[in-house]
Amino acid sequence: MLTSKLREALICLKAGRVTLPYPFAPHDPEPGFRGKVTIDADLCFGCGGCANVCEAGVILLTDSGQHTRVLEFFWRRCTYCGRCQEVCPEGAVKLSQEFQTATNDAADLYLRLEVFMGPCQRCGRCFPPPTPLERMKRTGFRADGEGGRA
Ligand code: SF4
Ligand code: SF4
């Protein structure tokens, strides 16, 4: 009994350290790790594909008027399945390597994104303005804008 325990102890000592020093040292997840979801607002054109496939109900999509589509992200519900990343045609949604998502502030896990859309003159349905310049027109500059913008 005693000898078997000593043998076990020797094996353990011989193996050296087998665990990572995290959280005392940074830890980089393996490639392909599905961490915190990020969104690039400049790439999103409001198609709603991500909202359609999200089983956890993280993404809520509403149209507030004919020109604005609102996407709300409730990240606290996310299960990191990665389906939103798979379907996004623009690569706007990505799962990052970030895994330290604990927070005391619920606002950290909420995002509201407004996408400016153009309504079809015939059917009234929204579509994204085709060029960045036209998107800027939709958003609009102030007439008395600073820096001489009109
Ligand atoms: S990773 Fe999955 S659960 Fe999280 S937002 Fe994307 S589709 Fe929804
Ligand atoms: S994030 Fe991608 S899938 Fe979701 S609404 Fe924007 S463009 Fe569509």
Q: What is the pTM of this model?
A: 0.72
pLDDT tens, residue by residue, 100-121: 888 999 899 999 999 887 666 7
Please give the distance, rounded to the nearest whole angstrom, from the Cα atom of residue 135 to the centre of ligand 2.
Answer: 16
> CA torsion sign, 124 to 62 to 84 to 132?
positive
Which two three-digit tokens encode residue 41? 């607002």
Q: Tell me which range, 6-20, 58-72, 88-102, 133-147, is most confidently predicted by mean pLDDT.
A: 88-102
Please give the distance, rounded to the nearest whole angstrom, from the Cα atom of residue 117 to the centre of ligand 2.
Answer: 13
Report whether residue 47 contacts ligand 2, using a CB cutoff of 6 Å.
Answer: yes
Q: Which numbered atom of ligand 1 lies nearest the CA of 82?
A: 1
Query: Ligand 1, from 39, 80, 87: best to mutate by most atoms within 8 Å of Cβ?
Result: 80
Residue nearest to atom 6 of ligand 1 (CA): 84
Ranking 33-37, 51-55, 127-131 by mean pLDDT, the lowest is 127-131
* Helix intervals (H) in the chain: 2-15, 49-53, 83-87, 132-139
Tell me the Ramachandran region of residue 93: left when phi exceeds 0, alpha when psi lies from -120 to 50, beta otherwise. Answer: beta
Phi, psi of 147 (to 5 degrees): 75, 20
Three-class SS state of 95: strand
Please give the distance, rounded to the nearest whole angstrom, from the Cα atom of residue 137 to the centre of ligand 2.
Answer: 21
In order of start, what are the domains of the chain with their CATH numbers? 28-132 (3.30.70.3270)
The structure tokens 């490639």 sit at 31
**68-89: buried (b, 16+ CB within 10 Å) or exposed (e) per residue?**
bbebebbbeebeeeebbbebbe
Report whether residue 58 contacts ligand 2, using a CB cutoff of 6 Å.
Answer: no
